[in-house]
């Protein structure tokens, strides 16, 4: 009976490493002879030595496995089951709405050269403090949520500490993370017009083999964004797909739809100025251009010089956009007849950047903006010919 109990205990000890070992069947031990019983201590000692050797080998195998399979390491590095629900995966300059979770503010890539590393902390440093940021949400490259970085004693530094095993870097394999900002709303300290830009992302960790401490930073020219209570999400052409060009007074030249988003009931997009390129053949002349909001008889006079139409000083009651508004451009068209195929096309070209003005000037009620996070051209109108 003693031999039976010892066999069970040995099986538990050997299976502790996660490796399956061959042990003598229990029924054999129950039928063993007296001679076999006398040799039991020797067999137990040999088995114990084998177990310890196998345990050391298993540790070496596990360490090697974490190096050889970066994909597996990435999948197992996050213990949390929460994933990023927002669809964008590209860091770019953007308008960050107050009271919401931002698009990606920054991405960072890390590389552990010497050995696999367990990451202990991640810090985000901003170019300058931003009072509108509540916290940063940190995600792995596959969208798995890693943790929440909170503001530290330094107003432009946010840091998160990870539980052991939450984030691991394999040896000599690039590993990426990205961050979003959760913004305060206006009632809790959110401010329109603040610029948001990361200067560095830093991690600290412990080497899996040497237990050495590591610190590494990722610095880049990170994109710059700006906070707002409302924004223009897109501008689209809602005119007919193709029309015949007709000369005369007060001709419809284009119809553009402005689609907006706002973060609170008081935030509204108000257009202040539009700059529109008129692409025309040499035999087409435009004059007396006017801007009109669909459903209104009120118009705004626009100037034209070098085929650039400027509709400036737009009154706030005329330029206010609630959700979606359509704006039409009218003008007098004269065709000389020198060209058998006259063409007229209106285009809003430049979205601008945080440091360079584009073709649309607008306000959210608190701040004047001269750019939008849209691609160029912003919108092409209907081509008349």
85 in any annotated domain: no
Locate all alpha helices (DSSP H) within 200-313, ordered by sequence: none
Residue where one domain finishes, among candidates 182, 209, 228:
228
CATH number of the domain residue 315 falls in: 2.60.40
15 in any annotated domain: yes
Alpha-carbon dihedral sign for residues 7, 12, 16, 22: positive
Residues 246 and 373 in one domain: yes
Closest CA to 7 of 16, 22, 17, 20: 22
Residues 234 and 376 in one domain: yes
Give per-residue pLDDT as tens, 287-342. 999 999 998 889 999 999 999 999 999 999 999 999 999 999 999 999 987 777 89
Contact 183/96 with Cβ under 8 angstroms? yes
Residue 153 buriedness (CB in 10 A; 0-12 / 13-18 / 19+): exposed
Contact 112/172 with Cβ under 8 angstroms? yes
Residues 118 and 259 in one domain: no
Which two structure tokens, joined as six digits, stand for 112?
């552990």
Residues 117 and 214 in one domain: yes
Residues 125 and 218 in one domain: yes
22 in any annotated domain: yes
Residues 249 and 197 in one domain: no
Residues 57 and 167 in one domain: no
Residues of the chain with pLDDT under 50: 1-42, 45, 47, 51-53, 55-80
User: 295: how many CB neighbours lie within 10 A of its CB?
Assistant: 7
Residue ranges making up the domain that contains 112: 95-228
Give per-residue pLDDT as tens, 49-79. 554 445 444 433 333 333 233 333 333 333 3
Q: In what order do the strands lie in the sheet with 324-335?
A: 230-237, 248-262, 324-335, 284-293, 299-301
């Amino acid at each position: 009976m003693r031999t039976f109990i010892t066999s069970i205990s040995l099986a538990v000890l050997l299976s502790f490493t996660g490796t399956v070992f061959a042990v003598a069947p229990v029924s054999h031990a129950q039928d063993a002879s007296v001679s076999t019983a006398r040799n039991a201590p020797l067999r137990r000692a040999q088995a114990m030595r084998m177990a310890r050797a196998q345990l050391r080998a298993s540790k070496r195998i596990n360490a090697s496995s974490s190096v050889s399979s970066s994909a597996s390491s990435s999948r197992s590095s996050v213990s949390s089951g929460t994933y990023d629900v927002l669809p964008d995966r590209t860091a770019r300059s953007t308008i960050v709405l107050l009271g919401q979770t931002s698009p990606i503010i920054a991405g960072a890539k890390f590389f552990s050269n010497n050995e696999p590393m367990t990451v202990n902390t991640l810090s985000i440093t901003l170019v300058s403090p931003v009072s509108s940021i509540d916290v940063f949400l940190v995600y792995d490259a596959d969208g798995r949520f890693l943790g929440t970085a909170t503001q530290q004693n330094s107003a432009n530094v946010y840091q998160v500490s990870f539980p052991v095993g939450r984030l691991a870097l394999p040896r000599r394999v690039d590993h990426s993370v990205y961050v979003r900002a959760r913004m305060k709303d206006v009632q809790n300290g959110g401010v329109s017009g603040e610029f948001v830009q990361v200067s560095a992302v830093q991690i600290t960790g412990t080497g899996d083999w040497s237990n050495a401490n590591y610190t590494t930073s990722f610095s880049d020219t990170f994109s710059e964004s700006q906070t707002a209570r409302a924004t223009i999400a897109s501008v689209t052409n809602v005119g007919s797909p193709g029309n015949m060009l007709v000369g005369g007074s007060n001709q419809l030249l284009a119809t553009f739809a402005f689609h907006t988003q706002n973060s609170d009931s008081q935030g509204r997009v108000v257009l202040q100025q539009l700059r529109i390129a008129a692409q025309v053949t040499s035999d087409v002349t435009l004059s007396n251009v006017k801007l009109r909001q669909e459903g209104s008889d009120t118009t705004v006079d626009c100037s034209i010089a070098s085929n650039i139409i400027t509709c400036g000083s737009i009154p706030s009651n005329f330029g206010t956009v609630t959700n979606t508004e359509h704006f039409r451009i009218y003008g007098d068209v004269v065709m000389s007849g020198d060209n058998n195929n006259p063409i007229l096309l209106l285009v809003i070209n430049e979205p601008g950047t945080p440091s360079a003005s584009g073709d649309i000037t607008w306000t959210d009620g608190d701040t004047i903006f001269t750019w939008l996070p849209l691609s160029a051209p912003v919108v092409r109108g209907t081509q008349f010919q």
